[in-house]
Amino acid sequence: MAEGGGAQNQTAVAGADGAVVLRERYTVFPGRPLPDLNSPNALAYAVEDRRGGRPLFALALPPDLPVRLSTIQTMRGQQFNSVLAVIDYGFAYWTPFGRETVLVLFERPSGGRLINSLDETFQPLSDPDYQKIIVKPLVQGVEELRGKGIVHRAIRPTNIFFMDADRTRPVIGECISTPPGFDQPPMYEPLESAMALPEGRGPGTFADDMFSFGVTLLHILIGRRPGGQLRGRELLRARIANGSFAALTGDARFPIAMIEVLRGLLIDDQHLRWDAEGMKLWVAGRRLSPILAKPEKRAQRAFRIGGMEVMSRRDLALALADNWDQAAQPVMDGQVEVWLRRALDEKEAAEAVAEQVRQASFPGASANGVTTDSVIARICLRLDPHGPIRYKSARFLPEALGATLAVASTRQKDVRAIVECILRELPEAWFEVQTSFDPAYVSMLSQIKQMRGFLRLAQPGFGVERCLYELNETLPCLSPLVADGYVLEIEDLLPALDNAAKRVDAKSWPADRHIVAFVAARFRFDVDKQIAALNSPQADTSALGLLSLLAVLQWKLGPEALPGLSGWIGSLVAPIINSYHNRDVRKRLEKEVPKLVRKGSLPDLYNTLDDVEERQKDLDGFAWAKAEFAGAEQEILDMEADSAQRETNAQRLGQQSAAVVSVMIGLITVCVFLAMQVW
């Protein structure tokens, strides 16, 4: 179940013009957008507070992504000095989307953004102003977030706002509109997550926020995009080769006093990276020991693939993943092993690569899940243990599996690559190569094993859909039947289906794969028997399983009446009624079902259609009728057998009698003839 209680508890009331009123206080206007306050994936709209007070604005969150609901609830109503305050939130039908979504209310900044685009150039502040207006307030913001246990994952210059028109009070912007790290440009992410897809970066840690904070300070300090002319993969490879500090600062000039803090924040080893406490000490004037990054070990000669020349293990992992279709030959032919052994003198890594290739060469390897693609993926993990899982088009850290699967499912990406990752046990391979142990790994491994079990079952209630809802507690049900209703909590499912009954074909099934999986994942009670019955190939058992599943939901969660859904189900119960053998019972049920449908109670409908005593009576009666019929049939057979025997006996007796009579007649005839001769 998702965090924070049922969605219905925060639902807004819609007005005639599409405006919605949240908590009988805040009016949000879909016809009054505020594009200057948009987030990359969430649109901003005007808000009026009926009680007056601070100016506000609302973000309408994308309804097809998991919601950071726990973060919203943590921040709601909290006082922050240097973080954009969350005032409230709610669920509403939003006319620009044509469906329900989450609306989050914020205090409205009157000074606008720090910058509108990461590519724009601007005049850097003087050193005293930079320290006073930017560094100290943002350090306070980072400390406030840490104090609330919030990992932000969206710190960047375009997400810094000024609360005052004089632009002297900066605040760190929102972090709740998308999954963690989803909106971040790779430049603002540590190397490990920068190499993953946006949805594959995971919740992250405070160390990730400190890196983003460091890049933000650098960007503001030099007045232009860090990294000079390098972009995308070129910048990423430069960071791998030279370290993020050197690659991002490049030839930029800035005060010598800032070198220390930037080195501390932009170091690639998260265990050595400065934390909020270190920043506080630096702001207070205490100078810390300089941190020097350990350079990546470089090869004596380059490895060439896809027109690229790579010089390190990590760079090779990136190149193999980026040139997946070309990676098989050098990997399987042993070129990677030879290069690691001779050019890098990495004998242990070379032997690990050779072992992976040997396993793929064994007879029957593919039947055991060892394929060329899985070998490449495992070799990438050996080359770069801290990088993401890379498999075909998939790039994700294990803790981001849920978000990766959700985005792939809702935005028409390749789900198969993610599914194959799980089935080929690549998350386990990632954990195996880690150099340090995290207690969270134990629960993550257990959950991934459970997901593998679901994926191996194709029936409704399992498969990809079950994994989606098990891994994403704040992902609404994606079934087309209820998608416009933003069904986040299990309590909201039946009312949404009741509304859907007004517009669907009555002959359609009111429980597709998404709905069954959603119930299985979010309902607190065991419904395995109902799902097993629903998946039965027999029409009556399947219909009864469907009715039983929905009836249990209404019994446990309400509401008391569901006339629309009852009518929908009522049109599908003919196989259940026809499963009774007694014609009188069938006629009675056909008369009772419409009455029960109007009542709107699925439990009553289920209890009537599958009454235990009635069902046993019907079975007993049918068994008695079958026995009686069999007895009667045997009697008929016996009578027919007796009749045939009598006919046979009579025929034999007649034949015998005829023979005797014939003999007698013959004797009499002979005697008469002889007597006539004598006379």
Identify the residue whose tokens are 């935005």. 411
Q: What is the structure's pLDDT at 669?
A: 74
Query: Is the same domain home to 98 and 182?
Result: no
d(CA 162, CA 587): 73
Mean pLDDT of 60-82: 94
pLDDT band at 325 (very low <50, low <70, confident <90, very high): very high
Q: Is the dihedral of CA 663, 668, 671, 672 positive or negative?
A: negative
pLDDT band at 115 (very low <50, low <70, confident <90, very high): very high
- Whether residue 475 lies inside any domain: the answer is no
pLDDT tens-digit map of 549-602: 999 999 999 999 999 999 999 999 999 999 988 888 899 999 999 999 999 999
Q: Does residue 444 share a domain with residue 318?
A: yes
Q: Tell me the mean pLDDT in the region 340-368.
A: 85
- Establish if 298 belongs to a structural domain: no
- pLDDT attached to residue 2: 35
Q: Which residues of 428-467 are buried (b: 16+ CB within 10 A; e: fewer)?
A: ebbbeeeeeeeeebeebeebbeebbebbeeeebbbbbbbb
Of 443, 469, 495, the residue that ends a domain is 469
What SS3 class is residue 646? helix
Q: Which two tokens stand for residue 145?
A: 């977030």
User: Strand, coil or helix: what is 308?
Assistant: strand
Q: Are residues 411 and 262 part of one domain?
A: no
The residue among 79, 107, 135 that closes a domain is 107
CB 214 within 8 A of CB 156: no
**Could you tell me if residue 113 is inside a domain?**
no
**pLDDT of 409 over the 90 cut:** yes
Q: Domain check: are 38 and 139 in the same one?
A: no
Same domain membership, residue 493 and residue 465: no
pTM of the complete model:
0.87
Residue 474 lies in a domain: no
Within-domain flag for 78: yes
Q: How far apart are CA 204 and CA 439, in angstroms?
A: 15
DSSP conformational letter for 117: -
pLDDT at residue 3, as a whole number? 37
pLDDT confidence tier of residue 343, bands split at 50, 70 and 90:
very high
678: pLDDT strictly greater than 50: yes
Least confident range from 159-163, 187-191, 276-280: namely 276-280
Q: What is the CATH number of the domain that holds 206?
A: 1.10.510.10
pLDDT band of 6, cuts 50, 70, 90: very low
Tokens for 228?
């000079």
Say yes or no: 342 and 430 in one domain.
yes
Would 479 be classed as within a structural domain? no
Query: Number of structural domains, the chain?
Result: 5
Compute the distance between CA of residue 397 and CA of residue 512 in angstroms, rounded to an integer: 30
What pLDDT was estimated at residue 617?
82
Which residue is it, tokens 């791998």?
240
107's enclosing H/E stretch is: strand 99-107
Average of per-residue pLDDT across 199-220: 96
Give the domain-ending residue among 406, 436, 469.
Answer: 469
Angle, CA of 20, 40 and 126, to the nearest 5°: 115
Tokens at 24, concatenated: 């009988």
Q: How many residues does the chain have?
A: 679
The tens digit of pLDDT for each residue in 450-464 reads 999 999 999 999 999
Query: Do 342 and 464 fall into the same domain?
Result: yes
Lowest mean pLDDT among 176-185, 207-216, 253-262, 380-389: 253-262
Q: Are residues 602 and 619 in the same domain?
A: no
Work out the mean pLDDT of the chain and round it to a whole number: 90
Q: Token pair for residue 542?
A: 């399947």
Range of the domain at 32: 7-107
Q: Evaluate whether residue 518 is within a structural domain.
A: yes
Residue 297 lies in a domain: no
As a whole number, mean pLDDT of residues 395-413 equals 95
The C-alpha angle 181, 187, 191, rounded to 5 degrees, equals: 75
* E-strand stretches of 178-231: none
Q: What percent of the chain has pLDDT over 90?
A: 72
The predicted-structure confidence for 95-113, as pLDDT tens digits, reads as follows: 999 999 999 999 999 999 9
Composition of the chain by helix, strand, coil, percent to 5:
55, 10, 35
216 pLDDT exceeds 60? yes
At residue 560, the 3 state secondary structure works out as coil
Identify the CA nearest to 181 among candidates 215, 204, 158, 207. 204
**Contacts for 10-19: CB closer than 8 Å, 24+ residues apart:** 10/89, 10/90, 10/91, 11/90, 11/91, 11/92, 12/90, 12/91, 12/92, 12/103, 14/92, 14/93, 18/95
* Sheet of strand 86-94: strand arrangement: 13-14, 20-22, 26-33, 43-49, 56-60, 99-107, 86-94
Assess contact for 350 and 357: CB atoms under 8 A: no
- CA angle, residues 368, 374, 379, in degrees to nearest 5: 125
Pairing of strands 160-162, 170-172: antiparallel
* Minimum mean pLDDT range among 367-376, 403-412, 417-426, 580-589: 367-376
pLDDT value, residue 22: 95
Looking up tokens 């007004």, which residue turns up? Answer: 502
On whether the CB atoms of residues 467 and 454 are closer than 8 A, the answer is yes
- Identify whether residues 428 and 309 lie together within a single domain: yes
Is residue 538 scored above 90 in pLDDT?
A: yes
Work out the pLDDT band at 10, boundaries 50, 70, 90: low
- What angle (nearest 5°) sits at the alpha carbon of residue 272, between those of residues 267 and 278? 95
Name the residue type at position 88.
D
Q: Are residues 16 and 89 in the same domain?
A: yes
Is the pLDDT at 273 greater than 80, yes or no?
A: yes
pLDDT band at 346 (very low <50, low <70, confident <90, very high): very high
Rounded distance between C-alpha atoms, residue 562 and residue 564, angstroms: 6
The residues near 387 (Cβ < 8 Å, ≥ 6 apart) are 191, 192, 195, 314, 317, 318, 380, 381
Cα distance between residue 66 and residue 473, in whole Å = 8
What's the CA gap between 147 and 319, in Å, rounded?
A: 40
Q: How far apart are CA 496 and CA 485, in angstroms?
A: 6
665 and 546 assigned to the same domain: no
Residue 93's domain is classified under what CATH number?
3.30.200.20
646 shares a domain with 603: no
Tell me the one-letter amino acid at 435. Answer: T
Which run of H or of E encompasses 92? strand 86-94
Nearest CA to 73 among 86, 61, 57, 60? Answer: 86
One-letter identity of residue 217: L
Nearest to 138 by CA among 110, 114, 116, 111: 114
User: What is the band of 1 on the pLDDT scale with cuts at 50, 70, 90?
Assistant: very low
Question: Mind listing the pLDDT tens digit for each residue in 496-533?
Answer: 999 999 988 888 999 999 999 999 999 999 999 999 99
Residue 12 pLDDT = 62
**Six-digit token pair at 209?**
């926020």
Q: Tokens representing 101? A: 């979504």
